[in-house]
Amino acid sequence: MSKSNKMKILAIESTAHTFGIAIIEDKKVLINLKRAYTTESGGIIPINAANYHMAHKDDLLEEVLNESNTKIEDIDLLAYSAGPGLSPCLRVGRDLVKELNEKHKIPFIEVNHCVAHLEITKVLTGAKDPVLLYASGANTQVIAFEGGKYRIFGETLDQGIGNFLDSFARYLGLGFPGGPKISDLADKSKNYIELPYSVKGMDISLTGMLTKLKQLNDSKKYKVEDLAYSLQETAFAMLLEVSERAMAHCDKKELALGGGVACNTRLKEMSKIMCKERGAKCFIPENQFLVDNAAMIGLTANLMHAGGHKINKSNPEIYPYQRTDQVIVDWE
């Protein structure tokens, strides 16, 4: 235990474009810094993102320790995003944990990235038992805790909502991340053009809408602002239809948002309207905790540790394809 007698956790996030390091002391975020890979044009290339992380990890660690006035010897536990994610990126985080574990003999906890998006809303917003609309780059899932595990009640059948936004932005010649650029365009319009609305049971599909958007854009008959506006209205309505149905089925009265796309002001607004209409509460952490961040990994590790989850002494691993419902939840 560190000198202050409080558990100090150093947490790492590196599932995709963001390399983040945070230090958590009990439930308090002492520091939460990140370096995010971006491009001027074109999307995320996993190996380039991993090289970016490699180039920044040591400096970021030094900055986090210096700025928080922490010595590595004060750290009691390491935590990292072990999956799901892009293998080359996950490996950079895992290797840093391995290095610190071997050199300083600090034990570690492996954290599921999607579960961490949900847990952080509970710690930071006071949500007790929410349905989480997790709307990020690669992942789009509606998750809730039922029958002893985090279950996926609905998800995308093809691409994640963020990847979908980024793909259309890339097609328009805008760089990565495209979501904020689409959002800026959408803000300039109120002219709705009908697009394929594709909800299948509890799942959604986005590739048909992407094809249609490309065709409409190529026809040169429509303004990109109108396409961006219509895209947001249609895709977000699909996400909220599934979220609302999950709330009704599970009899849950809380909706939480997570993932980078949840930074979108229109998605936040539509979520609040849906909750108000059904007498539910809507919980949205501030943007720095919606996007990929290391604080959520540390806070989740803190909960896991406090709840009796086993800590590991050696050989950190990665699980690029780990699904939310495969996580054994022994800390709730």
Return residues touching ligand AMP (CB under 6 A): 16, 18, 136-137, 162, 165-166, 177-180, 183, 259-261, 263-264, 291-292
From the list ligand AMP, Mg ion, none, pick the one residue 285 interacts with, judged by a Cβ distance below 5 to 8 Å according to partner type. none
Rounded Cα distance, 35 and 141, in Å: 25
Binding at 298: pick from Mg ion, ligand AMP, none (beta carbon under 5-8 Å per type): none
114 or 127: whose CB is closer to ligand AMP? Answer: 114
In this structure, the strands spanning 140-146 and 131-135 are antiparallel
**From ligand AMP, Mg ion, none, interface partner of 318 (C-beta below 5 to 8 A by class):** none
Which secondary-structure segment (H or E) carries 172? none
**Is the CB of 18 or the CB of 300 nearer to ligand AMP?**
18
Nearer to ligand AMP, 130 or 137 (CB): 137
Q: How many angstroms separate the CA atoms of 308 and 137, rounded?
A: 32
Choose the one of ligand AMP, Mg ion, none that binds residue 206, judging by a C-beta under 5 to 8 angstroms depending on kind.
none
CB of 163 to ligand AMP, least distance (A): 6
CA-to-CA distance for 134 and 17, rounded, in angstroms? 17
Q: Is 292 in the site for Mg ion (CB under 5 A)?
A: yes
Which class for 169: exposed (0-12), middle (13-18), buried (19 or more C-beta within 10 A)? buried
The 3-state DSSP class for residue 64 equals helix
CB nearer to ligand AMP: pick between 233 and 292: 292
Give whichever of 117 and 181 is closer to Mg ion, judged by the CB atom. 117
**If contact means CB under 5 to 8 A according to the sort of partner, which of Mg ion, ligand AMP, none does residue 46 touch?**
none
Tokens of 243: 């979220």
Rounded to whole angstroms, the Cα distance separating 332 from 321 reads 23
In sequence order, the β-bridge partners of residue 23 are 10, 31
Nearest residue to Mg ion, by Cβ distance, number only: 136
Matching residue, tokens 């590991």: 312
Q: Least distance in Å: CB of 259 to Mg ion? A: 5
Instruction: Give the burial class of 149: count Cβ atoms within 10 A of its Cβ; 0-12 exposed, 13-18 middle, 19 or more buried.
Output: middle
Q: Looking at beta carbons only, is 101 or 163 nearer to Mg ion?
A: 163
* 324 secondary structure, DSSP code: G
**What string of DSSP letters covers 206-263?**
-HHHHHHHHHHHHTT-S-HHHHHHHHHHHHHHHHHHHHHHHHHHHT--EEEEESGGGG
Q: Considering only residues 136, 141, 300, 322, which one is a binding residue for Mg ion as defined by CB under 5 A?
A: 136
165 binds, among ligand AMP, Mg ion, none (CB under 5 to 8 A by kind): ligand AMP
Least distance to Mg ion from the beta carbon of 255, Å?
A: 18
121 near Mg ion (CB under 5 A): no
In the bound state with Mg ion, the residue whose beta carbon lies nearer, of 254 and 292, is 292
CB of 174 to ligand AMP, least distance (A): 10
| Interaction site with Mg ion (CB under 5 A) | 136, 292
